[in-house]
């Protein structure tokens, strides 16, 4: 089937620096993308989403960039804090309005060092 994958399995950043987590997808019909944060022992937590008619969306300290030409998605976290340490998953869906089940990537572990 179609795949969603992440470029790096682990990322270590210093507190206060900006973090960038990348994701590649292969389904050209994907029109809805989400980033989730998962802390140890917890379920994934919704961070930010973006639809395919946009190429950038900003939230609080986070920005998602979508490049449909190369099927690439990234999550930028500004001024990374220790509480940002977690595993981050990108997920995609072929239908943004019907809530179709999501296809998840493998996850990137973000470690924030003091």
Partner 1 sequence: EADIYQTPRYLVIGTGKKITLECSQTMGHDKMYWYQQDPGMELHLIHYSYGVNSTEKGDLSSESTVSRIRTEHFPLTLESARPSHTSQYLCASSLAGGQFFGPGTRLTVL
Per CB under 8 A, residues contacting partner 1 are 1, 32, 34, 36, 41-46, 49, 87, 89, 96-99, 101-102, 104-107, 109
Distance between CA 54 and CA 24 in Å, rounded?
17
Cβ closest to partner 1, residue 73 vs residue 89: 89
Closest distance between partner 1 and the C-beta of residue 9, in Å? 9
Cβ closest to partner 1, residue 31 vs residue 74: 31
Residues 6 or more apart from 67 whose CB is under 8 A from it?
55, 73
Rg over alpha carbons for the chain, rounded to the nearest Å, is 13
Cβ closest to partner 1, residue 34 vs residue 66: 34
Q: Closest Cα partner for 56 from 69, 71, 28, 75?
A: 75
Closest distance between partner 1 and the C-beta of residue 113, in Å? 20
Closest distance between partner 1 and the C-beta of residue 88, in Å? 12
Closest distance between partner 1 and the C-beta of residue 46, in Å? 5
Q: What count of residues does the chain have?
A: 114
Distance between CA 108 and CA 85 in Å, rounded?
10
């Amino acid at each position: 089937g179609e795949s969603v994958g992440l470029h790096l399995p682990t990322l270590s950043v210093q507190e206060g620096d900006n973090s960038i987590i990348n994701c590649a997808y292969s389904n050209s019909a994907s029109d809805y993308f989400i980033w989730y944060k998962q802390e140890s022992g917890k379920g994934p937590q919704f961070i930010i989403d973006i639809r395919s008619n946009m190429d950038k969306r900003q939230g609080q300290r986070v920005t998602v960039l979508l490049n449909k030409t190369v099927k690439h998605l990234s999550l930028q976290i500004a001024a990374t804090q220790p509480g940002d340490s977690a595993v981050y998953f990108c997920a995609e869906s072929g239908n943004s309005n019907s809530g179709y089940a999501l296809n998840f990537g493998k996850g990137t572990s973000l470690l924030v060092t003091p």
